């Protein structure tokens, strides 16, 4: 069985178990996939090892695994964050005249999960799903400073202003924590300035919101008032989440307790 074919059959197996809403036998899976039972057993064992499937009690029948439930909760979590954040981002973009966005950490990068662009002739490339470096962007540095992430081992120089020394970056993150927001002064892209502040829930940073725009518009005299607006917006969003949002839990079975959003 080729790797691509095995992957496709593994995904079909997960989809079948998920949609069945009951425990499923290996023989039934083999019939559905049109493969022999031993091949189906090997696929099932691999998926069990990675947490995507599990055995139902002491039987050999299969049910959805904890990892799959966790991924579902994480997706719900991000969708709920976007829903709550969007009005705040729109207001921030309107008040500053610059693009506003929200990002979270995922596999060593900052990932934009919501983005509000402004209708001006000078716009900064962004977009939902964009993955950007942690060490040289405002959202990335805010995630490093206010979260529990380690400084990346590789600090690639993107621009002349990019910090590539870990000790220097550690001191810079201390300064970010003191001032309450991160600033990217053309460290990632030429002619672009950005700032970002943390969104917190239960004393943890769960995301950051940011502003980005051309350096010709985000001038030195605008930095302080824009940063104040940003921090206040992040604070209001954090307060709203505190009253209406239950974060997903990741310790084993408890992750099945999905997000609870009050109406």
CATH number of the domain that residue 187 is part of: 3.30.450.40
In this structure, the answer to whether residues 43 and 109 fall within a common structural domain is no
Q: Examine the domain organization and report whether 170 and 40 are in the same domain.
A: no
Quote the pLDDT of residue 245: 61
Domain that holds residue 37: 3-64
128 and 242 inside one domain: yes
- What is the percentage of the chain residues whose pLDDT exceeds 90? 50
The CATH code of the domain that includes 12 is: 1.10.10.10
Which residue, 146, 78, 153, 65, is CA-closest to 114? 78
Distances (CA, A) of 62 to 1, 19, 70: 22, 12, 17
User: How far apart, in whole angstroms, are the C-alpha atoms of residue 248 and residue 250?
Assistant: 7
Residue pLDDT, tens place only, 96-131: 999 999 999 988 999 999 999 887 645 555 688 889
Residue 81: per-residue pLDDT: 81
Buried-exposed string 88-117: b where 16+ CB fall within 10 A, e elsewhere: bbeebbeebebbbbbbbbeeebbbbbbbbb
From 27, 47, 64, give the residue that closes a domain: 64
* Contacts of 96 by beta carbon, 8 Å cutoff, 6+ apart: 211, 213, 226, 229
Place of tokens 């954090």: 238
Same domain membership, residue 54 and residue 77: no
**Alpha-carbon dihedral sign for residues 181, 187, 190, 191:** positive
Does residue 261 belong to any structural domain of this protein?
Answer: no
In this structure, are 43 and 102 located in the same domain? Answer: no
pTM of the model: 0.70
Domain co-membership, 145 together with 94:
yes
Partnered with residue 200 across adjacent β-strands are: 205
Report the SS3 class of residue 25: coil
**Residue scoring higher pLDDT (245 or 140):** 140
Q: Domain for residue 219, yes or no? A: yes
Give domain status of residue 251, yes or no.
no
pLDDT digits (tens, 9 = 90+) for 6-27: 888 888 888 888 888 789 898 8
Mark whether 175 and 214 lie in a shared domain.
yes
Q: What is the pLDDT of residues 232-245, one digit of tens each?
A: 999 999 999 887 76
Does 253 fall in a domain? Answer: no
The b-or-e profile of 219-243 (16+ CB within 10 A means b, else e) is: eeeeeeebbebbbebbeebbeebee
Q: Are residues 177 and 157 in the same domain?
A: yes
Q: Of 35, 64, 93, which closes a domain? A: 64
Helix, coil or strand: residue 206: strand
259 or 49, which is more confident? 49
Q: Based on the structure, what is the number of domains in the chain?
A: 2
Regarding whether 167 and 94 lie in a shared domain, the answer is yes
* 228 lies in the same domain as 203: yes
> Side by side, which strands form the sheet with 204-214?
131-132, 109-116, 99-106, 204-214, 192-201, 182-185
Instruction: For residue 203, tell me if it sits in a domain.
Output: yes
- CA distance linking residue 93 with residue 91, whole number of Å: 5
Q: Predicted confidence band at 93 (pLDDT cuts at 50, 70, 90)?
A: very high
CA 47 to chain CA centroid, nearest Å = 24
Secondary structure letter of residue 153 according to DSSP: S
**What is the Cα–Cα distance from 176 to 205, expressed in whole angstroms?**
14
Same domain for 8 and 116, yes or no, is no
- Look at residue 260 and tell me if it is in a domain: no
8 lies in the same domain as 113: no
Q: Are 210 and 140 in contact (CB under 8 A)?
A: no
Please indicate, yes or no, if residue 262 is contained in any of the structural domains.
no
Q: Which residues pair with 111 in a beta bridge?
A: 104, 131
Instruction: Flag whether 263 is in a domain.
Output: no
Beta strand residue intervals within 67-124, DSSP E = 99-106, 109-116
Q: CA 46, 52, 56, 62: dihedral to nearest 10 degrees?
A: -60
């Amino acid at each position: 069985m080729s790797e691509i074919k095995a992957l496709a059959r593994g995904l079909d197996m997960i989809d079948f178990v998920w949609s069945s809403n009951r425990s499923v036998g290996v023989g039934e899976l083999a019939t559905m996939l049109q493969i022999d039972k031993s091949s189906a057993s090997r696929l099932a064992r691999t998926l069990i090892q990675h947490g995507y499937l599990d055995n139902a009690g002491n039987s050999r029948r299969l049910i959805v695994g904890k990892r799959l439930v966790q991924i579902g909760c994480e997706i719900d979590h991000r969708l709920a964050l976007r829903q709550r954040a969007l009005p705040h981002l729109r207001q921030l973009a309107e008040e500053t005249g610059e693009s506003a966005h929200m990002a979270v950490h995922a596999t060593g990068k900052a990932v934009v999960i919501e983005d509000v662009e402004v209708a001006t002739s000078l716009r900064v490339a962004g977009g939902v799903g964009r993955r950007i470096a942690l060490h040289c962007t405002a959202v990335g540095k805010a995630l490093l400073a206010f979260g529990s992430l380690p400084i990346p081992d590789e600090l690639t120089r993107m621009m002349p202003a990019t910090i590539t020394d870990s000790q220097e970056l550690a001191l810079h993150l201390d300064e970010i924590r003191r001032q309450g927001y991160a600033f990217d002064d053309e460290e990632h892209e030429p002619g672009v300035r950005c700032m970002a502040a943390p969104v917190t829930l239960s004393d943890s940073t769960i995301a950051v919101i940011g502003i980005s725009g051309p350096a010709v518009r985000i001038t030195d005299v605008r930095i302080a008032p824009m940063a104040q607006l940003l921090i206040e917006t992040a604070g209001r969003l954090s307060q709203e989440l505190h009253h209406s949002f239950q974060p997903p839990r990741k310790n084993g079975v408890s992750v099945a307790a999905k997000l609870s959003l009050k109406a």
